[in-house]
Amino acid sequence: MLKQKDYYKNKTIFVTATNTDVGKTYASEKLLRHFAKLGLKVGYFKPCETGVVDSPLDGTKMLNLVKQLNKDFEVTINDIVPYQFKLPAAPYVSKGNTTIDIEFLKQKQKQLQEMCDVLIIEGAGGLMVPIEKDIFIIDLIKEFQAQAFLITPSKLGCINDTLLSIQALEAKNIDFEFFINLYEDKDSFDEVSLPFLKEYFSEINYLNDL
């Protein structure tokens, strides 16, 4: 569970993960509802969404939720998902000849923050997914001066994925919390992965407990 100190630790929380399909959108929804229950005005931002055919699926779902939770969040889908690409791939690949402007994204972040107490930013894929040749998702967290919420899976292999991602965050001096999403191999998780994680970490947070 989040401790009270975490509620106001940073106005911006960046939801990232060890890889794709680990539960970033699910985590974003949980966090939006969690902070709204505390009486905080919430907002949502997804700088890049790929695999967009007609409209961004993740962004649209979250926009509808945020508008229910915060009536002051008067934005359009293009405000909260400024870069939308059709190919379901890393933004660097799917963007083609488009240049993803980091300063433009930081300005969008600033505008959205004016309408909320806590802004949830959802990344794309894992930490080392490329945005430009030398810019990765992990670099966006630094640019946004955000606290990272790392979502890790419960499946076999999660120990390796979790430790590597945490090492990457620590190397960049990024403040973070990590949460395990119990959705894969959850029947065997307690036997296969939890013993080491409990021994290695002083505290284990579960996304499902939010």
The CATH number given to whatever domain includes residue 166 is 3.40.50.300
From CA 101, how far away is CA 36, in angstroms rounded? Answer: 31
Q: What's the structural domain count of the chain?
A: 1
pLDDT at 7: 46
Residue 39 Cα distances to 12, 13, 33, 45, 80, angstroms: 16, 17, 10, 20, 22
| 22 marked as part of a ligand binding site | yes
Domain span including residue 101: 9-189+197-209
| 21 marked as part of a ligand binding site | yes
Q: Does any domain span residue 93?
A: yes
Q: Does any domain span residue 205?
A: yes
Phi, psi at residue 83, to the nearest 5°? -115, 115
Alpha helix (H) residue ranges in the chain: 4-7, 24-37, 57-69, 77-80, 91-94, 102-113, 137-143, 158-171, 186-192, 194-200
Q: Does any domain span residue 96?
A: yes
pLDDT at 10: 57
Structure tokens at 54: 């007609």
Q: Does any domain span residue 149?
A: yes
Which residue of the set 46, 95, 108, 155 is catalytic? Answer: 46
Q: Does any domain span residue 3?
A: no
| 162 marked as part of a ligand binding site | no
Q: Does any domain span residue 1?
A: no
Q: Does any domain span residue 19?
A: yes
Q: Measured at the alpha carbon of residue 22, what is the angle toward residues 75 and 45, in degrees to the nearest 5? A: 15
Q: Is 198 one of the catalytic residues? A: no
Which residues partner with 48 through β-bridges?
83
| 123 marked as part of a ligand binding site | yes
Q: Does any domain span residue 117?
A: yes
pLDDT in tens, the chain (210 residues): 455 445 445 589 999 999 999 999 999 999 999 999 999 999 999 999 999 999 999 999 999 999 999 999 999 999 999 999 999 999 999 999 999 999 999 999 999 999 999 999 999 999 999 999 999 999 999 999 999 999 999 999 999 999 999 999 999 999 999 999 999 998 999 999 999 999 999 899 999 888
Report yes or no on whether pTM surpasses 0.95: no
| 36 marked as part of a ligand binding site | no
Is 157 strand, coil or helix?
coil
